[in-house]
Amino acid sequence: MKSSLHIIVFTLVYSGLWGCQQPIDTPKAKRLQKLYKNEQFSEYWYSGKAEVASYNLKQSRYGEVHEGKAVFIFVTEPFSKSKQVKLDVPKETKDDEVTVMKLNFTKKFTTGIYPYSMMLSAFTPVDRYHYPKTLKVTMSSQEWCGHVYSQMNLEKKKYRLKSFSYFESEGDQEVSVETALLEDQVWNQIRLDYKSLPVGKVKIIPGLFFTRLKHKDLKPLIASASLQEKTDHITYQIYYPERALSIHFSKEFPYQILSWEETYKGIGGKELTTSATLDRTLHIDYWAKNNITDSYLRDSLNLK
């Protein structure tokens, strides 16, 4: 795997499955171009390295809080607009290429005797002026009872959702979901341009981790969002009718995620909270560190 090493070039090419997106308002165009073409952004995100950050996780599940680890991996890479996959040879398919910020988000925790392993990936175009919608989100969850998998692909004005589960009530599904802000893209949007995060009443599609753990249908909800600048960090909060998510990130570039809390009411109205706090960070080409001699780097992330 290699990160895209080029500066994003704005283009009005639309094709294939991805469909035509309407660019966001013109006044933001100059700001976005200045933002993504500045040297600081390029040196960090087009360096051929990823940001890998570990977090101390406290995951609410079955009415209790279970300790574990979460990892965020942010990296830019070339992506196919038509196939919605990473391009193998970008220079041969320029008309189909868009640079994305990819988030790989993992959680590992144990409930009693058996472990959970969860992973979510979100692919958000860096050029949010011409391509304001996230292209794709995937999620998988494995534990001793079985595993589930979901995938959302942008298709014109809808997200096409395919979902597979070992639960009879869920089974195999394929549905269309109205486009809206994705909770799962908020993490990428913070890293790219947190000032563009919507505030006030917002139509938002809840995250795949939450909807699958709670066995909820995936659909847009009306939520209330706020962006608050604190003394030493910035907080983005989303208030759903029965749930709240607060994400805290640094005030300075590269706007690293520092912590988050997710609160909701469980069985019997008991309030439950999942939270995580930043532990360690590496800026590294982790895909090249796959030998036994590289295993010491896990200690650098405080991962057992």
| Model pTM score | 0.88
**Percent of residues, the chain, with pLDDT higher than 70:** 88
Q: What is the pLDDT of residue 26?
A: 57
C-alpha span between 292 and 304 (Å, rounded): 15
Q: What is the pLDDT of residue 128?
A: 87
Is residue 209 a part of any domain in this protein? no
The C-alpha angle 109, 112, 114, rounded to 5 degrees, equals 65
Residue recorded with tokens 């780097």: 297
Q: HSE (CB half, 13 Å, CA atoms) of 245?
A: 16
Q: What is the pLDDT of residue 168?
A: 82
Give yes or no for residue 91 having a pLDDT over 50.
yes
Residue 300's pLDDT band (boundaries 50, 70, 90)? very high
pLDDT per residue as tens digits for the range 44-88: 999 999 999 999 999 999 989 999 999 999 999 999 999 999 988
How many domains does one find in the chain? 1
Is residue 202 a part of any domain in this protein? no
Is residue 115 a part of any domain in this protein? yes
What is the rounded average pLDDT of the residues 78-103?
Answer: 88
Give yes or no for residue 155 having a pLDDT over 70.
yes
Is residue 260 a part of any domain in this protein? no
Is residue 250 a part of any domain in this protein? no
Q: Which helix (H) or strand (E) holds 276?
A: strand 271-284
**Percent of residues, the chain, with pLDDT higher than 90:** 74
Q: Looking at per-residue confidence, does 283 or 21 come out higher?
A: 283
Whether the CB-CB separation of 210 and 223 falls below 8 Å is answered with no
What is the rounded average pLDDT of the residues 171-182?
Answer: 94
Is residue 188 a part of any domain in this protein? no
Tokens matching residue 97: 């290429």
Range of the domain at 32: 16-179+269-300
Residue recorded with tokens 């290699």: 2
Is residue 244 a part of any domain in this protein? no
Q: What are the respective helix, strand and coil percentages of the chain, to the nearest 5?
A: 20, 45, 35
Span of 31-45, 60-74, 182-196 with lowest mean pLDDT:
31-45
Residue 11's pLDDT band (boundaries 50, 70, 90)? very low
Helix ranges (H only) for the chain are: 26-36, 39-45, 183-193, 208-213, 296-300
Q: What is the pLDDT of residue 27?
A: 60
pLDDT per residue as tens digits for the range 220-265: 999 999 999 999 999 999 999 989 999 999 999 999 999 999 999 8
Is residue 143 a part of any domain in this protein? yes
Give yes or no for residue 301 having a pLDDT over 70.
yes
Residue 268's pLDDT band (boundaries 50, 70, 90)? confident
Q: What is the pLDDT of residue 21?
A: 56
pLDDT per residue as tens digits for the range 212-222: 888 888 999 99
Give yes or no for residue 278 having a pLDDT over 60.
yes
Give yes or no for residue 23 having a pLDDT over 70.
no
Strand partners, 105: 72, 120
